[in-house]
């Protein structure tokens, strides 16, 4: 199946993960200007009225950048929407995105309702949905989403436990549309590996935390550089949904990372007024198992240059072996 036009002609087959707090206009614009799909959660724009401002300014800047750089590959941006009853902003944020005709919406937690899909499809937008299991994938496709983001073991933030080999392989038995794979992807080699498994795109998050444009504290950025896969803790304590977090931040919060209680999933809350949800990303830092491959924090453009060099080198290496 041919990819939607908005996902064609990227510099690399990469969709950048929308990360709570960290993904703001500066990071997303740098990702788009580097030729990738940049993304941010709608809930990062606080207060809610800021979402309209961000979209207006980002769209204007990308139009100006394309005009000034007619030969550059410039990627589109995506907005992540949390589809959950506790997200009281969902309807309002969707209305803002529809008004701006955001080309890609990334939905998560629950399959988007028909009215949301109809509104996005009405102007030609597409919806990619985060899933961690085959059941979730099938429900999302039945609802009418255009593509899937497979969040496999090792991904930063909210993540699943399935091997990417199993998850991609099983999904490809019944779905031939756009698929992005997430889970410890931090190099050009891993981007090519995602494609070799059957995914169309690598879905990269944690690598962008260690960039100058990420909207995080210096302590958080340094913790990424200092940590490895062994320093990642998988727990549902902080949001009610299982995810991967930096052990160092859990210890700093006065908790024992080796003895964390289980949270009640029914209590998860994505309300903008929830202090617990805010703390989960401000003080308890999300990160994936790929951070052991990250040892510096340059700008996004330099990271993309490296990823492209590694990706092309991996392709040549495999061609020679073949």
pLDDT for residue 274 is more than 70? no
How many Å separate Cα 149 from the centre of its chain?
9
Q: Which of 40, 72, 46 shows the shortest CA–CA distance to 58?
A: 40
Neighbours of 219 (CB within 10 A): 11
Report which of residues 123 and 282 the model is more confident about: 123
CB 152 within 8 A of CB 164: yes
pLDDT number for residue 278: 36
Instruction: Please report the pLDDT score of residue 281 as a whole number.
Output: 65
pLDDT at 116: 97
Helix (H) or strand (E) holding 80: strand 77-82
pTM of the model: 0.94
d(CA 19, CA 9): 24
Mean pLDDT calculated for residue range 302-309: 98
Please answer whether residues 139 and 162 qualify as being in contact, where contact means their C-beta atoms are separated by less than 8 angstroms: no
Q: Residue 7, Cβ neighbours under 10 Å: how many?
A: 23
Kindly state the average pLDDT of the residues 61-80. Answer: 98
- Burial of 40 by CB count in 10 Å (0-12 exposed, 13-18 middle, 19+ buried)? buried
Task: Tell me the two tokens of residue 172.
Answer: 């490809």
pLDDT at residue 270, rounded to an integer: 64
């Amino acid at each position: 199946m041919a990819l939607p036009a908005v996902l064609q002609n990227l510099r690399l087959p990469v969709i950048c993960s929308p990360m709570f707090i960290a993904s703001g206009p500066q990071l997303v614009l740098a990702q788009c200007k580097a030729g990738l799909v940049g993304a941010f959660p709608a809930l990062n724009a606080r207060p809610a009225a800021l979402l309209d401002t961000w979209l207006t300014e980002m769209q204007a800047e990308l139009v100006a950048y394309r005009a000034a750089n007619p030969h550059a590959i410039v990627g589109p941006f995506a907005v992540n929407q949390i589809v959950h009853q506790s997200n009281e902003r969902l309807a309002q944020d969707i209305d803002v995105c529809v008004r701006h005709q955001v080309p890609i919406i990334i939905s998560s937690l629950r399959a988007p309702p028909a009215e949301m899909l109809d509104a996005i499809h009405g102007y030609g937008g597409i919806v990619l949905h985060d899933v961690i299991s085959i059941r979730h994938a099938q429900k999302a496709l039945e609802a009418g989403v255009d593509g899937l983001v497979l969040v496999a073991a090792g991904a930063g933030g909210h993540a699943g436990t399935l091997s990417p080999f199993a998850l991609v392989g099983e999904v490809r038995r019944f779905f031939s549309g756009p698929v992005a794979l997430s889970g410890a992807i931090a190099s050009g080699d891993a981007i090519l590996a995602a494609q070799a498994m059957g995914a169309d795109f690598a879905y990269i998050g944690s690598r962008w935390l260690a960039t100058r444009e990420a909207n995080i504290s210096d302590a958080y950025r340094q913790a990424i550089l200092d940590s490895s896969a062994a320093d990642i803790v998988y727990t549902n304590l902080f949001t009610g949904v299982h995810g991967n977090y930096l052990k160092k931040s859990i210890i700093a919060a006065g908790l024992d990372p080796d003895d964390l209680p289980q949270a009640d999933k029914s209590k998860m809350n994505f309300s903008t007024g929830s202090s617990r949800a805010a703390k989960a990303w401000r003080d308890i830092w999300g990160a994936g198992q790929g951070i052991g491959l990250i040892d510096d924090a340059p700008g996004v453009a330099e990271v993309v240059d490296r990823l492209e060099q590694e990706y092309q080198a991996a392709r040549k290496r495999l061609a020679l072996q073949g």
